Amino acid sequence: MAGKKLGIAVIGLGGAVGTTMVAGIELLKKNKISKTGLPLADVKADLIDYEEIVFSGWDLFGADLAQAAKTHGVLSYEQLAEVEDFLKILKPLPAIADSNFLEIEGDNIIKANSHTEKIAQIRSDLRSFKKNCDSVVVINLASTEKLIDENKEIFKSLEKFERAIEENSEEISPAMLYAYASIAEKIPYANFTPSVAVEIPALIEFAEKNSVPIAGKDGKTGQTFIKTVLAPALRARNLKVVGWYSTNILGNRDGFVLSNENSLASKIKTKSSVLNDILGYEVEDHIVDIRYYRPRGDNKEAWDSVDFLGFLEQQMQIKINFLCKDSILAAPLAIEIARCLELAQRSGEKGIQEQLSVFFKSPMSKGNPEHAFHRQEQMLMAWLEKHQANTNFGQIKLMFD
Amino acid sequence: MAGKKLGIAVIGLGGAVGTTMVAGIELLKKNKISKTGLPLADVKADLIDYEEIVFSGWDLFGADLAQAAKTHGVLSYEQLAEVEDFLKILKPLPAIADSNFLEIEGDNIIKANSHTEKIAQIRSDLRSFKKNCDSVVVINLASTEKLIDENKEIFKSLEKFERAIEENSEEISPAMLYAYASIAEKIPYANFTPSVAVEIPALIEFAEKNSVPIAGKDGKTGQTFIKTVLAPALRARNLKVVGWYSTNILGNRDGFVLSNENSLASKIKTKSSVLNDILGYEVEDHIVDIRYYRPRGDNKEAWDSVDFLGFLEQQMQIKINFLCKDSILAAPLAIEIARCLELAQRSGEKGIQEQLSVFFKSPMSKGNPEHAFHRQEQMLMAWLEKHQANTNFGQIKLMFD
Amino acid sequence: MAGKKLGIAVIGLGGAVGTTMVAGIELLKKNKISKTGLPLADVKADLIDYEEIVFSGWDLFGADLAQAAKTHGVLSYEQLAEVEDFLKILKPLPAIADSNFLEIEGDNIIKANSHTEKIAQIRSDLRSFKKNCDSVVVINLASTEKLIDENKEIFKSLEKFERAIEENSEEISPAMLYAYASIAEKIPYANFTPSVAVEIPALIEFAEKNSVPIAGKDGKTGQTFIKTVLAPALRARNLKVVGWYSTNILGNRDGFVLSNENSLASKIKTKSSVLNDILGYEVEDHIVDIRYYRPRGDNKEAWDSVDFLGFLEQQMQIKINFLCKDSILAAPLAIEIARCLELAQRSGEKGIQEQLSVFFKSPMSKGNPEHAFHRQEQMLMAWLEKHQANTNFGQIKLMFD
Amino acid sequence: MAGKKLGIAVIGLGGAVGTTMVAGIELLKKNKISKTGLPLADVKADLIDYEEIVFSGWDLFGADLAQAAKTHGVLSYEQLAEVEDFLKILKPLPAIADSNFLEIEGDNIIKANSHTEKIAQIRSDLRSFKKNCDSVVVINLASTEKLIDENKEIFKSLEKFERAIEENSEEISPAMLYAYASIAEKIPYANFTPSVAVEIPALIEFAEKNSVPIAGKDGKTGQTFIKTVLAPALRARNLKVVGWYSTNILGNRDGFVLSNENSLASKIKTKSSVLNDILGYEVEDHIVDIRYYRPRGDNKEAWDSVDFLGFLEQQMQIKINFLCKDSILAAPLAIEIARCLELAQRSGEKGIQEQLSVFFKSPMSKGNPEHAFHRQEQMLMAWLEKHQANTNFGQIKLMFD
């Protein structure tokens, strides 16, 4: 799918993942890196080319992306040198701040007196961006907000939610306002964070009504990725998991926010049901720890210790030590999600895009979510195969191939 | 499938895996253990019940299975106490010895002057065993034989092979003689070891001709199991594996035999092509070490260190430390293979049983073998589903259910 | 030092460590195990022989030690069988309960209306025990009590403390009452737990006054042992530790108590200053996690990830995974502490026994404590060497050797 | 000790360790790095200042050190940029090549027809270098030579050795020729490699005769460092090591040479006796593997799995995963060795410098070598303390302090 420009509007553009996305696409355009790490690079489907992607977005910090990239330390010295001039030009738009949900104090904040005004600003930003693109997708990469009670009445229907917006309800988070604004603009929205955003019934209803594809939540990058790969195999061998201890240490801004207990709760919540669901029974000793630990910077480290029983009920152990780079794993997933949402919209699909489950720790779904990695993968592949030829663009492309 | 007795004739009955199989089935019959670790315990297919399984077999050591179990130290004290009297009665039949292939010097050896005599003895053993069972399956659990050149002319057709048997060719291994005898008796045969046995064209031809289902080779228990689970997921994420270092330490008889360089070569050969096949490219730095290390006894330990590139070609690492129990993992697989081969034979299937790939490191197949664990699993599940009703016994069973 | 009976009175006798001590000494007497794991087994000093040790003690649970040993699962089946009859006879005396300090609800509790009565009972128990021994030592192995404020006025002098006892102060813990009673009986006392006991100035004063040797606190068994071995070496190489993440999972009664936040605080406190002290600078990212995780039972597991800088300020990592058995490590240390305290008392030493630092996470000392393992070891060795001949018993022994 | 220029002549100057030494000292001079990683940085002894060190040396490859540094990839991008101009000027002198001992084919080779000529060239190189320095030390950092039989008659006395030189004996390695030349020039010599060099009786005799201090062999950087730290602690706790499995993966030139079996043998030999010596008994299952594995480059990785028995003869495990940087660990040790040898020579010491044991895997010693890290450390500290004031320079320094 060449020649159609896809704009990705990133909430948290100046963060480690956001800047890595932007730098990565630029390095690809300059032919400085291969497509390694981009899961759908070799897939024959009618997705927009990576080289056609452009970026915009918001951030609580106004620093240009070159400055941001230096802070994050994800790019190698050579990679940074290659794209520094390009990144310098990109400055995040002012973002929605709300200290009830996030304690980070930024300097690049939308001045607005009400939820309605904030939404209006985001919609206006999106309309401007859209002028330069064939299509736009919004993706939330902002720091994790504090855990809220998703079962509040105001989240249960679009009507109630819109009333609560008008009343400036303190229960409505920035993540929700962005999601509302995107859907209002008929722009697909993906929640890559553990924050509660587009997952509330009110916004799902809105997405259906406005025919907008949505997806979420919480990108499946490191430990949970491995967990959803290994657990189905243990089940296939009928090995009984009696305990699974998972600990994570990470030192980036994301980690710092998680050192706040309420944000941590959001994060851990999206990690925890996965295992029982895959195994089909409750693992009573399933512990997930996450610790802010600066020496590692953006290099996250996970350690899992799994205890399970085999034949004759004898105990065995698997330990997995994953030395990963958070943004290096997350950025390509966010890019693929955006490409898939664009394809979904172009194909007339709307509401929850369950086939994107493979990219999320806590996938949105109409029924029970699928957590097993290989079945999620197959779901996506089937969807992509279906879209090889049955869109208009696809047909044209095939004719000239 | 209750009430039909399945006899499993084990080559290497007194080994750690063999005795664990026998003890495990006995403990199941006595209701002392659950079916944990038996992969097909919950599958609804027309397989023989575990409780209907009985055992016979050969071993170079004549010790009864109670004595053998004590040596191996796999059973817990309580488990041994529970089945000791039962195991005491079971003594392995004399086995085929050939120091060209295995240096172990046992005391329980078939006295025979020729290959033909050895085959005759095995066939006679099998016929006796068959009298007490509704069906019999042979499974090879013997220590790994030295690596041979599989491309020798005598292995290429049944005719040439039979002539070589008559000529007492030194190229023909004990494992092959057992396989030949089994097929001659129309008894399904599975090769759970890395030795070259039923995989040669001559014996595949024989199996086809005699309508005997066969399967192999080398049980996928520990490290390779994990490797074939993890590698497909790395590929799905387009993470580029640049190196995979695998080392194993094990201290049982199997490990001791592997301290012989030629046997080790057999073992490593079956481990090595797996990775490239799954990933679709050659991993140049794929190293597999196996070391005999006594302190661990039957408790095998594997350590894998995987280096791979992600987005922006940045390097990450996964390390996996698997503290497993060799026989605890192997015994239930061997049991399931036997049950599946019985079902295959009952259903009129013959030759290579590719759907059993999930149980083997180096699966026999008509075309390219499937190595990815989850696809192997699905292949087996599809086969089992098909056999829920389309065998005679199955139909009867369904009628009365 | 043969022929002199040493009685060890254990607070928490029925716990995993207590029963392991008793069983271990009995197995030694029966010549069923070697002296492996007993640090001072080969030391030529005038210590009481292991075979001369006898036990008594208190526990909140009244079960005999055979029953207790079965619950703890530390002894092998064979070891238990060997000593079961002996353990059956041993029943813990009723213990001091105080739900302000420990939430465990036992059934074997001293009935008393005041601190004074409780002390009287413990003293009476000790006097009875002493009748059958040449000497007695008390060792605290009870579950960790909640963290208290050690700086309270009542702990600062013996006078104030005794007044607080009379007033039944709620600040006084069971651990302190045992310590007070021991010292009152001129019996050496060691605190093997992280609870605050003999370390308060009041009790140190009492020990000096009554000429009683004391030692503590918190046995250095697993992770801290390794930490105090490795850290001095990193310092010797001038490698700069920038972060040390330590996590522990354990599933025994001790672990359960630690799942209570206040007890956990006690435990972590004794672990944390060690590192800075050895390295000579503050490690800002030093994190210690302890998690109750049942599948491991008494088998504790620690995982340490150390980040440090080398030449050119380049970062390296060491990761240590320790699969240890808590009681197997702790029991012999407790035995050696008792033997050393007996020797100290016999030699006329009193108050803090700093030379026992090698056995403790948070060693009592007159000045700055020594934490580096090898220097602690040398301190103990020097003391033991001094006591090869300069006690009366020692001289006699040498004369007749 | 300021103001006295120390010249270090490096055999293998262009290797990863050699270039890291040179770059590191230059970065120190420019105040771009701290003294982290230099073990004796804070020691108050009369050692030459780091800033007074200059370099020369030989290498089979003639590339300047800037080029070499790029190949090795040890320096960070910024560090390389800082010293690139300086490194460019430094070109290794032609080295002694001998394919009997090392298969590397370089382009920068001394043209000589005999051992005598080669020695003459090295001596001439050393004399030139000496003109610009107050003192010179030679350190061998070249790739590991093939294992030779150290017990050959020609190595047993200086006389026999000199005769063999004249006869161009094929048994005499390049490492020995360099050592001979150094000693002939009365220049201290250290062997940082596992090759056999100055350790033969002939050269020890020569060093004594010429009053030259010597030291070796094989720098104790990674796994053996940890081993000699941990093993004494296990012994102190009387924990019985029943097995120690050590494996290493490394991808630099050093690793490549070790993929040659005979060189590997040299390396493993220097690693193996250490453990038994520290523990005081033979560990039957002590296995050391070293594998050339390119993805890691200069970043060596070691994995140790230690099995040991504790009280009641119960088994426990420690696993250590060391992600280290070979040259980052080795370079500062080589620098300290040179500084100490200079001090030794200045103080009139000669022959084997046993106090440098802490820097070597296989320390040269007059009696039994000391392997335990903390005792080696103490030996060195005692020696340095003695040299705070008793050399001439030291006295002067103290006077003006």
Q: CA angle, corner B360, sides to B356 and B365, nearest 5?
A: 60
H helix and E strand count, chain A: 13, 11
* Facing residue for B238 by CB, picked from A38, A320, A373: A38
Query: E strands, A325-388, where?
Result: 351-352
Question: Among C75, C77, C317, which would you mutate to test the B interface (most chain B Cβ atoms within 10 Å of its Cβ)?
Answer: C77
Q: What pLDDT sits at residue D250? A: 86
Q: What is the pLDDT of residue A388?
A: 82
Q: Is pLDDT larger for residue A115 or for residue C250? A: A115
Task: Name which of D288, D303, D304, D289 is nearest D234 in CA terms.
Answer: D304
The 10s digit of each residue's pLDDT in B360-383 is 999 999 999 999 999 999 999 999
If you count residue pairs, one on A and one on B, with CB atoms under 8 Å apart, how many are there? 181
As a whole number of angstroms, the distance between CA C370 and CA C347 comes to 23
Q: Give Cβ neighbours of residue B124 (< 8 Å, ≥ 6 apart).
A: none
Asked if residue C101 and residue C203 are part of one domain, the reply reads yes
Give the distance from residue A120's alpha carbon to the nearest chain C alpha carbon, in angstroms.
43
Are C56 and C167 within one domain? yes
By C-alpha distance, which of A71, A114, A112, A79 is closest to A95? Answer: A112
pLDDT tens-digit series, residues B310-356:
999 999 999 999 999 999 999 999 999 999 999 999 999 999 999 99
As given in the structure block, the two tokens for residue D227 are 């081993």
Summarised one tens digit per residue, pLDDT across range C54-113 is 999 999 999 999 999 999 989 998 999 999 999 999 999 999 999 889 887 889 999 999
Same domain, B107 and B232: no
Residue B123 near residue B184 (C-beta atoms within 8 A) = yes
Q: Which of C323, C338, C369 corresponds to the end of one domain? A: C323
3-state SS, one letter per residue, for C308-336:
EECHHHCEEEEEEEEECCHHHHHHHHHHH
pLDDT of residue A394: 38
Identify from C82, C312, C326 which residue to disrupt to test chain D contact, counting D C-beta atoms within 10 A and taking the largest count: C312
Geometric angle at alpha carbon A202, from A197 and A203, rounded to 5°: 50
Q: Which chains touch A (3 or more CB pairs under 8 A)?
A: B, C, D
- pLDDT tops 50 at residue B136: yes
Whether B76 and C76 lie within 8 Å, measured CB to CB: no
User: Does residue B396 have a pLDDT over 90?
Assistant: no
The answer to whether residue C1 sits within a structural domain is no
Same domain, B146 and B175: yes
Q: What's the full length of chain A, in residues?
A: 401
Give the full edge-to-edge strand order of the sheet including D93-94. Answer: D93-94, D53-59, D6-11, D135-140, D189-191, D213-216, D351-352
Q: For tokens 């062999």, name the residue.
A: D217
A312 DSSP 8-state letter: G
φ, ψ for residue C272, nearest 5 deg: -90, -30
* Selected residue of C20, C38, C223, C314 to mutate for chain D interface (largest D Cβ count, 10 A): C314
Q: Kindly give, in sequence order, each residue whose CB lies less than 8 Å from that of residue C271, ignoring residues fewer than 6 positions away.
A: C223, C224, C246, C288, C361
Q: How far is residue B95 from each of residues B12, B70, B116, B156, B193, measured CA to CA in Å?
A: 8, 21, 14, 26, 16
Q: Contact B231/B373 with Cβ under 8 angstroms?
A: no
Range of the domain at A274: 223-323
pLDDT in tens, A1-19: 556 799 999 999 999 999 9
Task: Using an 8 Å CB-CB cutoff, list chain C residues near A289.
Answer: 247, 289, 291
What H or E segment, with its residue span, contains residue B164? helix B158-166
Kindly state whether residues D144 and D230 are assigned to the same domain.
no
Query: What are the beta bridge partners of residue D94?
Result: D59
Are both A205 and A89 inside the same structural domain? yes
Q: Which residues of A fall within a CB distance of 8 Å from B75? A: 312
CATH number at residue B301: 3.30.360.10
Q: Name every residue in C having a CB less than 8 A away from some CB of A.
A: 242-243, 245, 247, 249, 284-285, 287, 289, 291, 293-296, 301, 303, 305, 307, 315, 319, 321
Average pLDDT over residues A92-108: 91
pTM of the predicted model, to two decimals? Answer: 0.92
- The predicted model gives B197-201 an average pLDDT of 94
Interface probe for B, chosen from A19, A296, A312, A315 (most Cβ of B below 10 Å), is A312
Q: Which residues of chain D, if any, have pLDDT below 70? A: 1-3, 259-272, 389-401
d(CA B360, CA B218): 5
Report yes or no on B195 lying in a domain: yes
Q: How many helices (H) and strands (E) does chain C have?
A: 13, 10
Inside any domain, residue C400: no
List the single best residue of C246, C247, C316, C318 to mutate versus A (max A Cβ within 10 A). Answer: C247
Confidence of residue B195 (pLDDT cuts 50, 70, 90): very high
Residues of A in contact with D76 (CB under 8 A): 77
String of b and e for C369-385 (b: at least 16 CB within 10 Å)? bbbbbbbbbbbbbebbe
- Domain assignment present for residue A301? The answer is yes
pLDDT (tens digit, 9 = 90+) per residue, A334-363?
A: 999 999 999 999 999 999 999 999 999 999
- Residues B242-291 have pLDDT tens digits of 999 999 998 877 777 776 666 666 666 666 688 999 999 999 899 988 88
Do both D125 and D34 map to the same domain? yes
- Taking contacts as CB-CB distances below 8 angstroms, the residues of chain B near C76 are 77
Q: What is the pLDDT of residues C111-157, one digit of tens each?
A: 999 999 999 999 999 999 999 999 999 999 999 888 888 889 999 99
Alpha-carbon span C357 to C365, nearest angstrom = 8
Contact C291/A315, CB-based, under 8 Å? no
Note whether A182 and A267 are same-domain residues. no
What is the spatial distance between Cα A130 and Cα C68, in angstroms, rounded to a whole number?
72
What is d(CA A126, CA A137) in angstroms, rounded to the nearest whole number? 9
Which chains have at least 3 CB atom pairs separated by less than 8 Å from chain D?
A, B, C
Q: Determine the pLDDT at residue A270.
A: 61
Q: Are residues B95 and B227 in the same domain?
A: no
The sign of the torsion formed by the CA atoms of B146, B152, B156, B157 equals negative
Does the pLDDT at position A157 exceed 60? yes
CB contact under 8 A, B328 and A310: yes
Confidence check: pLDDT of B194 > 70: yes
* Residue A163: inside a domain: yes
Contact D230, D320 (CB under 8 A): yes
Q: Which residues of B touch C77 (CB under 8 A)?
A: 76-78
Among D285, D293, D319, whose Cβ lies nearest the Cβ of B245?
Answer: D293
Under 8 Å between Cβ of A108 and A60: yes
Measured between CA atoms, how close is D38 to chain C, in angstroms? 6
B167 in the same domain as B56: yes
Q: Pick from D323, D338, D369: which residue ends a domain? A: D323
Q: Check whether residue A230 and residue A277 sit in a common domain.
A: yes
Name chain A contacts of D78, Cβ cutoff 8 Å.
Answer: 77
Which residues is A248 bridged to in the sheet? A290, A302
Residues C92 and C57 in one domain: yes
pLDDT at A148: 84
* Domain boundary residue, one of A290, A323, A356: A323
Whether residue A117 is contained in a domain is answered as yes
Alpha-carbon gap, residue D299 to B243, rounded angstroms: 14
Q: Is residue C203 part of a domain?
A: yes
Determine, for residues A78 and D77 on separate chains, whether the beta-carbon distance falls below 8 Å.
yes
The tens place of each residue's pLDDT in chain C, 401 residues long, gives 556 799 999 999 999 999 999 999 999 999 999 999 999 999 989 999 999 999 999 999 999 999 999 999 899 989 999 999 999 999 999 999 998 898 878 899 999 999 999 999 999 999 999 999 999 999 999 998 888 888 899 999 999 999 999 999 999 999 999 999 999 999 999 999 999 999 999 999 999 999 999 999 999 998 899 999 999 999 999 999 999 999 999 887 777 777 666 666 666 666 668 899 999 999 989 998 888 888 888 888 999 999 999 999 999 999 999 999 999 999 999 999 999 999 999 999 999 999 999 999 999 999 999 999 999 999 999 999 998 855 444 333 333 33
Contacts of A295 in chain C (CB under 8 A): 242-243, 285, 307, 315
What is the pLDDT, as a whole number, of residue C393? 43
Count of A–D CB contacts within 8 Å? 6
CATH number at residue D349: 3.40.50.720
Query: Helices C223-236 and C261-279: crossing angle, nearest 10°?
Result: 20
| Tally of domains within chain A | 2
Alpha-carbon distance D153 to nearest alpha carbon in chain A (angstroms): 52
pLDDT of B74 higher than 70: yes
Give D77 to chain A, closest Cα distance, Å: 7
Angle at B280 between CA B277 and CA B284, to 5 degrees: 80
Task: Using alpha carbons, list the distances in angstroms from residue D133 to C323, D21, D55, D127, D397.
Answer: 54, 18, 10, 10, 20
Distance of residue A62 Cα from the nearest chain C Cα, in angstroms? 29
- Within a domain: C14: yes
**Closest C-alpha among D362, D359, D360, D356 to residue D379:** D356
Q: What is the ipTM of this complex?
A: 0.93
DSSP string, A171-224: T--HHHHHHHHHHHTT--EEE-SSS-STTSHHHHHHHHHTT-EEEESSB--SHH
- Element housing A315 (H / E): strand A315-323
